[in-house]
């Protein structure tokens, strides 16, 4: 799928409503996290009245809290408006971004996500679409019953980058199906996940 085609891609009303639900859940989670950060910073104010030897402790806590706030900023950018055409990137990097988003889910904060992407080859798609597809996949795993943990496996098989969740009883939602199609790929009929062409496959098609 050409870059211009990706930019013109329009999701259906059903898929948009599904994404809005994800955004709402993330925002509720961020609101909860900000309350925790405010409490931690209030405690630091109390520590500033302690002797100077406590300064290293204060700096350490401040560093941790700052990183948590910065992660929330990154999440807000990730769930923001659609942006950018196709670009080449390493799937593991996008998976790390999706993991930050999923950590903020109000309903799923106690369901950590493990992503295996060590053997994944680069792709060239709209990165924001790929990140959202991973978010949708991970959120679906968190809602599933009877599955221990959430695991997403990203690996290259032939000309395809395959992304699968650890629950074969699940099937792709409308949003996941539309995102996969918009990236020039497809969802699986027999397992929970999707696939998109690798960068190497696209370059061979283009005669490079």
State the pLDDT at residue 172: 94
Average pLDDT of the chain is 80
Q: What is the pLDDT of residues 197-207, one digit of tens each?
A: 999 999 998 88
- In the predicted structure, residue 22 carries a pLDDT above the cut 90: no
Strand, helix or coil for residue 16 = helix
From CA 88, how far away is CA 170, in angstroms rounded?
29
Q: Which domain holds residue 76?
A: 1-208
- In the predicted structure, residue 8 carries a pLDDT above the cut 60: no
Q: Is 172 exposed, middle or buried (0-12, 13-18, 19+ CB in 10 A)?
A: buried
What does the block give as tokens for 208?
Answer: 């490079």
- In the predicted structure, residue 52 carries a pLDDT above the cut 60: no
Higher pLDDT, 2 or 33: 33
User: Position of tokens 């295996």?
Assistant: 116
Average pLDDT rounded to a whole number, residues 54-71:
69
Average pLDDT rounded to a whole number, residues 23-37:
74
Q: What is the pLDDT of residues 67-111, one digit of tens each?
A: 777 766 667 667 766 667 899 999 998 998 888 888 877 666 666
Q: How far apart are the first and last CA of the chain?
A: 16
User: Position of tokens 């700052």?
Assistant: 66
CATH code for the domain of 8: 3.30.565.10
Q: What band does 2 get if pLDDT is binned at 50, 70 and 90?
A: very low
- Give every CB contact of residue 170 below 8 A, 6+ residues apart in sequence: 140, 141, 144, 192
Number of domains in the chain: 1
Residue 167 carries which DSSP code? Answer: -
Q: What is the pLDDT of residues 120-165, one digit of tens each?
A: 999 999 999 999 999 999 888 887 765 567 789 999 999 999 999 9
């Amino acid at each position: 799928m050409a870059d211009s085609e990706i930019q013109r891609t329009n999701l259906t009303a059903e898929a948009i409503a599904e994404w809005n639900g994800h955004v709402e859940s993330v925002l509720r989670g961020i609101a909860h996290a900000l309350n925790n950060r405010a409490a931690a910073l209030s405690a630091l104010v109390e520590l500033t009245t302690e002797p100077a030897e406590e300064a290293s402790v204060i700096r350490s806590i401040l560093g941790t809290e700052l990183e948590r706030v910065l992660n929330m900023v990154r999440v807000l950018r990730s769930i923001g408006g659609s942006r950018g055409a196709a670009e080449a990137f390493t799937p593991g990097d996008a998976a790390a971004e999706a993991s930050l988003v999923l950590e903020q889910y109000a309903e799923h904060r106690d369901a950590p996500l493990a992503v295996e992407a060590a053997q994944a080859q680069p792709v060239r798609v709209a990165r924001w679409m790929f990140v959202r597809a991973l978010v949708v996949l991970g959120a679906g795993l968190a809602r599933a019953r009877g599955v221990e943990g959430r695991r997403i496996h990203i690996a290259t098989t032939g000309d395809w980058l395959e992304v699968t969740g650890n629950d074969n009883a699940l099937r792709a939602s409308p949003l996941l199906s539309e995102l996969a199609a918009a990236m020039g790929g497809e969802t699986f009929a027999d397992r929970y996940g999707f696939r998109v062409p690798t960068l190497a496959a696209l370059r061979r098609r283009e005669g490079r």
